[in-house]
């Protein structure tokens, strides 16, 4: 992967501990001050710094992550040692951050859980680290891929965590069955998508098996991230800044109406089982909603079925026909301690964003890297798991959840509004919208506006 051109400083991937900065030449007699890097301030004072890292992984994932940490401990050149403490899982990490005081220097968890941590878990503002002339990270993102629009910005005023992996909402799509139904095109347009899902419904309704009537179209998960994806598909965007979640009301109502129509005509459906793997493998669903956590299970279901269909992942359909990917992130945060430990912690956090480590982390968590196109960052994993990166189309629109302090709560409220759509007629959708707005105000306080 080509490394993005530096735009905000003179950061180097592997800075020397004793590097010094030379002022740029000037045509005036007034000297231009140089930015003193974090390394210059603490030169020679990082040797022997020991750090504790809390992370969610266990089993094989933990073994792989520990191997990555061992490599860092042996090769980082500063004498920094990181001691991993894992085995929690993401939900337990959320509980720990909310209810306990963590004895650690670094934490890996859902980004929104780090930002929602209790006051005893005080996380460092990373903006100075992000923009440091020696140890900054802005040069690590590939400017040629759409993820670059989501990376930390030079003018970020305050940031308590940085993303190390993206968790996308995707659709699993049966290409073999679609071709038998007469479709060779991945349905990224909303109208074309409905046409294909209805074809799946019609095929199952008019075959010789009465037990599969009503199936064939999109199997709905009704998850938090699916709500974000459908909203984004109608040009919806989140506008952070106020004390409660801001959104585009027209996009929300348009998505409500479209989803209700599709559900009413059986282009979309839900089953007695909430897990979609068997439905997908048995051709009861032309497409199913999911995330990358579902990849191994769907692979196993297809491999054990009699159909042996070819399948892929795709973005959610959108008005513009390019598709949308709604994402949340796995992040890393640095807990407050002395300046040397905070700098040492940042050096490790930055290490995880370098390309080799981003590829190694994919083997740990199975999500998308954050610094560029997934198939370019982790080609080996992409080759072994063809559907893993197939939804990461260069022209798709990528939307990152507004992972501010309140997102751990408001994401569920936003989802709940979508769940109400399926049980009500369209005339009541404005009431859902009013209830959503009032609930957000009640939970998060009145708007700043």
At 262-308, the pLDDT tens digits run: 999 999 999 988 899 999 999 999 999 999 999 999 999 999 998 88
**Whole-number Å distance between alpha carbons of 32 and 408:** 45
Q: Lowest-pLDDT range, 68-77, 161-170, 236-245, 273-282?
A: 236-245
Q: What pLDDT is attached to residue 441?
A: 87
Taking only the tens place, the pLDDT of each residue in 177-232 is 999 999 999 999 999 999 999 999 999 999 999 999 999 999 999 999 999 999 99
CATH for 168-326+402-444 (3.30.70.120, 3.20.20.370, 3.30.200.20, 3.40.190.10): 3.40.190.10
- Report angle CA 327, 377, 147 to the nearest 5 degrees: 35
Percent of the chain's residues with pLDDT above 70: 87
Q: What pLDDT is attached to residue 243?
A: 55
Q: Lowest-pLDDT range, 57-61, 148-152, 218-222?
A: 148-152
* Buried b or exposed e, range 389-424, using 16+ CB within 10 angstroms: bbbbbeebbbbbbbbbebbbbbbebbbebbeebeee
Q: What pLDDT is attached to residue 446?
A: 54
Q: What pLDDT is attached to residue 176?
A: 97
**Whole-number Å distance between alpha carbons of 156 and 150:** 12
Q: Is the pLDDT assigned to residue 8 strictly greater than 90?
A: no
**φ, ψ for residue 107 (rounded to 5)?**
-135, 130
Q: What pLDDT is attached to residue 43?
A: 62
Phi-psi region of 79 (alpha: psi -120 to 50; beta: other; left: phi over 0): left
Q: What pLDDT is attached to residue 45?
A: 77
Q: How many CB atoms lie within 10 A of CB 159?
A: 19
Q: Is the pLDDT assigned to residue 22 strictly greater than 50?
A: no
Q: Is the pLDDT assigned to residue 33 strictly greater than 50?
A: no
Which residues on adjacent β-strands are paired with residue 425? Answer: none
133 pLDDT band (50/70/90 cuts)? confident
Q: How many CB atoms lie within 10 A of CB 277?
A: 21
**Whole-number Å distance between alpha carbons of 172 and 390:** 10
Collect all residues with Cβ–Cβ distance below 8 Å to 386 and sequence separation of at least 6. Answer: 312
Q: Which of 184, 253, 188, 181 lies closest to 217, judged by CA? A: 181
C-alpha distances in Å from residue 182, one per residue of 186, 204, 218, 439? 12, 15, 17, 45
Helices (H), 107-221: 111-115, 127-130, 175-180, 190-205
Do 400 and 146 contact (CB within 8 A), yes or no? no
**Whole-number Å distance between alpha carbons of 303 and 179:** 19
Q: Lowest-pLDDT range, 57-61, 241-245, 410-414?
A: 241-245
Collect all residues with Cβ–Cβ distance below 8 Å to 16 and sequence separation of at least 6. Answer: none
Q: Is the pLDDT assigned to residue 242 strictly greater than 70?
A: no
Average pLDDT (399-418) is: 91
Helices (H), 206-294: 224-233, 249-264, 277-281
Q: Is the pLDDT assigned to residue 134 strictly greater than 50?
A: yes
Domain boundaries, the chain: 38-167+327-384, 168-326+402-444
Centroid of chain to Cα 307: 32
Q: How many CB atoms lie within 10 A of CB 448?
A: 9
C-alpha distances in Å from residue 147, one per residue of 362, 368, 401? 16, 10, 13
pLDDT mean across residues, the chain: 88
240 pLDDT band (50/70/90 cuts)? low
Q: What pLDDT is attached to residue 378?
A: 98
SS3 of residue 239 by DSSP: coil
Average pLDDT (162-166) is: 96
Q: What pLDDT is attached to residue 150?
A: 84
- The answer to whether domain 38-167+327-384 and domain 168-326+402-444 are alike in fold is yes
Q: Is the pLDDT assigned to residue 20 strictly greater than 60?
A: no
Q: Which of 382, 389, 336, 365 lies closest to 68, judged by CA? A: 365
Q: What pLDDT is attached to residue 81?
A: 97
Superfamily covering domain 38-167+327-384? Periplasmic binding protein-like II (3.40.190.10)
Query: Helix, strand, coil shares of the chain as percentages rounded to 5?
Result: 40, 15, 45
Which of residues 307 and 427 earns the better pLDDT score?
427
Q: Which of 96, 95, 159, 79 lies closest to 125, judged by CA? A: 159
Average pLDDT (136-163) is: 82
Q: How many CB atoms lie within 10 A of CB 446?
A: 10
Average pLDDT (113-136) is: 92
Do 332 and 349 contact (CB within 8 A), yes or no? yes
Q: Lowest-pLDDT range, 14-18, 104-108, 392-396?
A: 14-18
**Whole-number Å distance between alpha carbons of 271 and 55:** 35
Collect all residues with Cβ–Cβ distance below 8 Å to 438 and sequence separation of at least 6. Answer: none
């Amino acid at each position: 992967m080509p490394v993005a051109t530096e735009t905000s400083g003179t950061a180097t991937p592997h800075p020397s501990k004793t590097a010094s900065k030379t002022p740029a030449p000037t045509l005036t007699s007034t000297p231009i001050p140089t930015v003193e890097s974090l390394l210059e301030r603490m030169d020679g004072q990082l040797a022997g710094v020991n750090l504790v890292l809390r992370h969610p992984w266990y089993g094989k994932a933990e073994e792989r992550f520990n191997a990555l940490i061992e490599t860092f401990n042996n090769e980082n050149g500063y004498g920094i040692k990181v001691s991993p403490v894992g085995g929690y899982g993401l939900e337990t990490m959320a509980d720990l951050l909310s209810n306990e005081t963590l004895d650690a220097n670094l934490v890996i968890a859902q980004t929104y859980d780090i930002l929602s941590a209790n006051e005893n878990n005080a996380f460092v503002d990373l903006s100075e680290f992000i923009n440091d002339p020696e140890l900054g990270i802005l040069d690590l993102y590939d400017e040629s891929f759409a993820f670059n629009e989501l990376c930390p910005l030079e003018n970020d005023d305050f940031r308590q965590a940085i993303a190390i992996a993206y968790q996308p909402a995707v659709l699993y799509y049966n290409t073999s069955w679609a071709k038998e139904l007469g479709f060779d095109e991945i349905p990224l347009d909303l109208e074309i998508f409905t046409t294909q899902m209805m074809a799946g419904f019609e095929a199952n309704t008019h075959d010789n098996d009465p037990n599969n009537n009503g199936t064939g179209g999109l199997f709905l998960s009704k998850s938090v991230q699916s709500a974000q994806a459908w909203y984004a598909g109608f040009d919806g965007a989140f506008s952070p800044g106020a004390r409660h979640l801001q959104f585009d009301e027209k996009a929300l109502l348009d998505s409500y109406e479209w989803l209700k129509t599709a559900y009413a005509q059986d282009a979309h459906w839900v089953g007695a089982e909430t897990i979609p793997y068997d439905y997908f493998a048995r051709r009861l669903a032309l497409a199913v909603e999911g995330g990358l956590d579902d990849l191994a299970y769907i692979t196993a279901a297809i491999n054990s079925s009699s159909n042996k269909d070819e399948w892929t992942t795709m973005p959610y359909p959108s008005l513009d026909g390019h598709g949308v990917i709604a994402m949340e992130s796995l992040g890393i945060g640095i807990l407050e301690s002395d300046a040397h430990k905070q700098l040492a912690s940042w050096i490790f956090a930055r290490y995880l964003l370098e390309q080799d480590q981003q590829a190694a982390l994919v083997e740990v968590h199975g999500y998308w890297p954050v610094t560029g196109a997934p198939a370019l960052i982790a080609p080996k994993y992409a080759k072994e798991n063809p559907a893993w990166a197939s939804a990461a189309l260069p022209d798709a629109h990528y939307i990152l959840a507004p992972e501010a302090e309140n997102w751990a709560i408001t994401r569920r409220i936003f989802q709940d509004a979508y769940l109400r759509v399926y049980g009500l007629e369209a005339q009541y959708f404005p009431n859902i919208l009013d209830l959503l707005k009032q609930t957000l105000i009640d939970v998060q306080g009145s708007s700043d506006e």
